[in-house]
A and B are shown apart, each in its own frame.
Chain A
Amino acid sequence: DAGITQSPRHKVTETGTPVTLRCHQTENHRYMYWYRQDPGHGLRLIHYSYGVKDTDKGEVSDGYSVSRSKTEDFLLTLESATSSQTSVYFCAIRGVAGRDEQYFGPGTRLTVT
């Protein structure tokens, strides 16, 4: 258990509403990542962070923003949710025990109706 939690675990929202997903880690790891997982696409990187207030875009960042005001929290915001953003969202951290592999949270299933 790498000490990663995600909230909420499930959410249904309407098109056009803003949504924020939270990733929380307990061990002060520098790198945090947000992915989405869809059938036929595998896991795709949305945004990542390499420190407090240091973030950058991934492969599929359009329609998403992130913030990291504290080491332990990485927030993913859908400014105006669309049906194409229905997906399972995973947060990951890197650097557990000084290693390079990423460890994943349990995921958030988001449905946009």
Chain B
Amino acid sequence: GESVGLHLPTLSVQEGDNSIINCAYSNSASDYFIWYKQESGKGPQFIIDIRSNMDKRQGQRVTVLLNKTVKHLSLQIAATQPGDSAVYFCAENIWGSQGNLIFGKGTKLSVKP
């Protein structure tokens, strides 16, 4: 199995429910944030991004919320499906760092049919 999923915070939801995955970031100079999805045996896959001059951005079935006051990022997935089961990572880019990303440790989402 994929060792990346071991010892991660796990969120278990029922198919069709909404999921909320949270992420705290540490650097006030971070100006760009990305959510990635990683399925077993694959590389991280881009889901959605948001810049620090925004507090909300919506995609297809996903919404990212950014609260700069408390340095908090969340990913909301509407009508969660079994195919959404994966490990989700947030990543932050610190202004001036040539696009280098700092990744969170990830949350494992498990969808029960």
B60 at the interface (CB under 8 A from A): no
Structural contact, A107 and B43, CB atoms closer than 8 A: yes
Structural contact, B42 and A106, CB atoms closer than 8 A: yes
B4 at the interface (CB under 8 A from A): yes
Which bracket fits the contact residues of B?
20 to 34
Nearest-neighbour CB distance to chain A for B30, whole angstroms, equals 13
Of the candidate stretches B14-22, B68-76, B77-85, B93-101, the one touching chain A is: B93-101
Residue of A nearest to B2 (CB): A88
Instruction: Please name 25 pairs of A and B residues whose Cβ atoms are closer than 8 Å in the assembled complex, sorted by A.
Output: A31-B99, A33-B100, A39-B3, A39-B6, A39-B7, A40-B6, A41-B105, A42-B106, A43-B89, A43-B91, A43-B101, A45-B102, A50-B98, A56-B98, A88-B4, A94-B99, A100-B93, A100-B99, A102-B34, A102-B46, A102-B99, A104-B43, A105-B43, A106-B43, A107-B42
B32 at the interface (CB under 8 A from A): yes
**In the complex, A102 Cα to B45 Cα: how many Å?**
9
Chain B interface (Cβ < 8 Å from any Cβ of A): 3-4, 6-7, 32, 34, 36, 42-46, 49, 89, 91, 93, 98-106
Contacts of A104 in B (CB 8 A): 36, 43-45
**In the complex, A56 Cα to B99 Cα: how many Å?**
12
Contacts of A48 in B (CB 8 A): 98, 100
Nearest-neighbour CB distance to chain B for A75, whole angstroms, equals 18
Structural contact, B103 and A44, CB atoms closer than 8 A: yes
Structural contact, A40 and B105, CB atoms closer than 8 A: yes
Nearest-neighbour CB distance to chain A for B6, whole angstroms, equals 5
Among B6, B32, B46, max chain A CB count under 10 A is at B46
Contacts of A58 in B (CB 8 A): 100
Residue of B nearest to A33 (CB): B100
Nearest-neighbour CB distance to chain A for B27, whole angstroms, equals 13
Contacts of B49 in A (CB 8 A): 100-101
6 shortest A-B CB distances, which residue pairs? A104-B43, A43-B103, A42-B105, A42-B103, A104-B44, A39-B3
